[in-house]
Structure formats: structure tokens, C-alpha cells
């Protein structure tokens, strides 16, 4: 092990040896340090506190708004930014060493709509996803609704493009977390039962376009469509503002195995029958890469295409985590 003169140099040398997705904020008694992986998989931005009193780092710009900080810029992929009593400075030794491939799922699902990431408003990106969906998968219907929360903006975009009226089809229990990332099937099914309630006056007797951000396991989708049927919907046309989620993600999404993904081994028509919709349409790979045309970056679409910017690990992560530290490889991909 080599000694380093300061913590930022230690971070830089660590970045020489690790590969994968990370956005870090590190604090010492005199410094605040932010670092982003050279591919820029996850967002990280810089803010200036009121009256120049200090600096802030956040994964999304909406967090800066919450503390009254002014957005300055995104941390560059591979950049190490140091805030101390001398102000703000950066180390760019790792910048440009890899293609900028931010996770496109940030725009589809993860980020808050009021955030601006790499120059693109997340709300606008989701509106555009809905417009693309209406172009790719038109249907005769009476109302367009969204699955709260990340499907709402795309549903509005679908309605604007198609001319079909937009309506509020669900009330969401705000005290239930995201079912997509919960650990067990039993937890997900229990949460879905209390997460949403359909508004019958919006959907009863109507042909409904339901817009959602993704279908992962299919548990939430089937339950959501069943709620609309029980509320009296005459037809349910399911539209997804992402391509089929058919491959695991190794860069921050909690889907470790393809066996958990409904799109693996099933055609679109088979998925349509499994979730109980009348028709099903996914956003194309071509259009998902055009959601943020003002952002000067490429995108990781590995969960849709199986093509990853960084080679995935050769053993599953649960096997890695179960190993004693003495048996672990110190140069693991993140």
C-alpha cells in the first residue's frame, strides 16, 4: 500500500483501481470532496450556498433547491472536486478516460421530475417519452392516465401527442415506498395492495390508456391493471415509457438475476396476457436514447440491450457478498 500526501490523492489512486458506477461525497474536518466515476453512470452536481457561504454536492439538483443553494454545474465524469477554505478546485486526471454513459433510467424512473440532469429537465424527458409512445403505439381510447409517480409525466405527454384527454386514475398512498426496489416478492405484493386506489369516476366504462415507467417482475403491473378492471374500465391499453427490462443491471439497480425479469423469455404478447392488459406497447431503444437530446452525453442501456459500457462481473453479486473478506478480490467492479 502507498501512502498519499492528502485524501484527494488517495481518492484518485483508488479510482485507478476500481471500475463501475459510483458518485461519492467524502467529508473530513477541513474538506468536502466529491467524485464521479469516469463513465458518469450516476448524476452528481455542485451547488453554491447563499451569499457565497459555502458549497454543496447532491445527486440531484432538486436537493440544492431545498437548501437554497444555487446550481453551479454537474460534476464531470471522472472528476474529483474539492471544497475547502481556499474555495473550489478539481482534479481531472480521470476525465475523458471512458465514454460518458449515464444511466438512462434516471430520466425514466429514478430522478425526481423537478431535477435537471446533464442539462435536461427530467419532467421534459418524461413528457417526451410519452409523446414518443403515442407515435409508436397509438390506440383509440377515452382517457389517458399515469401510474404514480414516475408514469404521470409520460402519461401527460401521451395525452398531448394523441389528443386523448388526460385524467387522474389513481390515488397513491404517500407512505408506501417504491415497490420496484423492495427485497422480497411478499413485500412487493403487500405494498402494491395498499399503494394505489383507482378513481372509478375517471375510468368506469371507458377505454383507458395506462402509462407506466417499466415492467420489471410484472407483480405491480398485474395488480394495477386489476384495480382498473375492478373500478369498471372497459379496456386497458398498457404503455411503457421504457423498452423491455430484459437484462440485469450491475450499476445501481437492484435486479441481480434475469430470472426475476418478466421480459426475459417472454414475448411482448405473452407479457400482455400475463399482466392482463388488452394491448401492450413499449418505448423503442431508438427513442429512449432521444429522451434527453440537449444532454451532451451518451447513455447506458444495458438493462434493455444487454450491452454494458463496463464488462459485468463474472460471478453473481450474492455469491460475492457471501464470501469472507479474505476470499474477495480487491479489484471488484462496482
Give the pLDDT confidence of 269-313 residue by residue, as tens digits: 999 999 999 999 999 999 999 999 889 899 999 999 999 999 988
d(Cα 89, Cα 104) in Å, to the nearest integer? 29
Of the candidates 295, 225, 278, the one whose C-alpha atom is nearest the C-alpha of residue 40 is 295
pLDDT attached to residue 283: 98
Taking 90 as the threshold, does the pLDDT of residue 16 lie above it? yes
Q: How many Å separate Cα 322 from the centre of its chain?
A: 27
Distance CA(318)–CA(285), nearest Å, equals: 29
Q: Residues 222-231: what's their mean pLDDT?
A: 96
Name the percent of the chain lying above pLDDT 70: 87
Residue spans of the domains in the chain: they are 7-98, 105-305
pLDDT tens digits, 63-104: 999 999 999 999 999 999 999 999 999 999 999 999 999 999
Distance from the first to the final alpha carbon of the chain: 21
Q: In angstroms, what CA-CA distances link 225 with 63, 70, 129, 142, 176?
A: 33, 42, 21, 16, 19
- Tell whether the model's pLDDT for residue 324 goes beyond 60: no
With H, G, I as helix, E, B as strand and everything else as coil, classify residue 71: strand
82 DSSP β-pair partners: 33, 89
Range of lowest pLDDT (85-89, 124-128, 179-183, 257-261): 179-183
Fold of 105-305: Rossmann fold (3.40.50)
Share the mean pLDDT of the chain: 90
Amino acid at each position: 500500500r502507498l501512502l498519499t500526501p492528502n485524501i484527494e490523492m488517495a481518492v484518485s489512486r483508488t479510482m485507478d483501481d476500481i471500475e463501475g458506477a459510483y458518485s461519492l461525497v467524502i467529508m473530513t474536518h477541513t474538506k468536502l470532496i466529491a467524485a464521479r466515476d469516469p463513465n458518469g453512470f450516476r448524476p452528481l452536481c455542485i451547488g453554491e450556498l447563499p451569499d457565497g457561504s459555502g458549497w454543496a454536492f447532491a445527486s440531484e439538483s432538486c436537493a440544492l433547491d431545498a437548501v437554497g443553494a444555487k446550481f453551479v454545474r454537474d460534476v464531470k465524469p471522472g472528476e474529483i472536486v474539492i471544497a475547502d477554505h481556499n474555495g473550489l478546485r478539481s482534479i481531472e486526471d480521470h476525465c475523458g478516460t471512458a465514454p460518458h454513459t449515464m444511466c438512462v433510467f434516471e430520466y425514466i424512473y429514478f430522478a425526481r421530475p423537478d431535477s435537471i440532469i446533464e442539462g435536461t429537465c427530467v419532467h421534459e424527458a418524461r413528457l417526451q417519452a410519452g409523446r414518443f409512445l403515442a407515435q409508436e403505439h397509438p390506440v383509440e381510447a377515452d382517457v389517458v392516465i399515469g401510474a404514480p409517480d414516475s408514469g404521470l409525466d409520460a402519461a401527460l405527454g401521451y395525452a398531448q401527442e394523441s389528443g386523448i384527454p388526460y385524467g387522474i386514475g389513481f390515488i397513491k398512498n404517500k407512505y408506501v415506498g417504491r415497490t420496484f426496489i423492495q427485497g422480497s416478492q411478499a413485500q412487493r405484493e403487500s405494498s402494491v395492495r395498499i399503494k394505489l386506489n383507482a378513481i372509478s369516476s375517471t375510468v368506469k366504462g371507458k377505454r383507458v390508456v395506462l402509462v407506466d415507467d417499466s415492467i420489471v417482475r410484472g407483480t405491480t403491473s398485474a395488480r394495477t391493471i386489476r384495480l382498473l378492471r375492478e373500478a369498471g374500465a372497459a379496456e386497458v391499453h398498457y404503455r411503457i415509457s421504457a423498452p423491455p427490462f430484459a437484462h440485469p443491471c450491475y450499476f445501481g439497480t437492484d435486479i441481480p438475476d434475469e430470472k426475476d425479469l418478466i421480459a426475459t423469455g417472454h414475448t411482448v404478447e405473452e407479457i400482455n396476457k400475463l399482466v392482463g392488459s388488452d394491448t401492450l406497447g413499449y418505448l423503442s431503444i431508438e427513442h429512449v436514447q432521444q429522451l434527453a437530446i440537449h444532454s451532451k452525453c451518451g447513455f447506458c442501456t444495458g438493462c434493455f440491450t444487454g450491452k454494458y459500457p463496463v464488462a459485468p462481473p463474472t460471478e453473481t453479486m450474492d455469491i460475492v457478498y457471501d464470501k469472507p473478506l479474505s476470499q474477495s478480490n480487491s479489484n471488484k467492479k462496482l
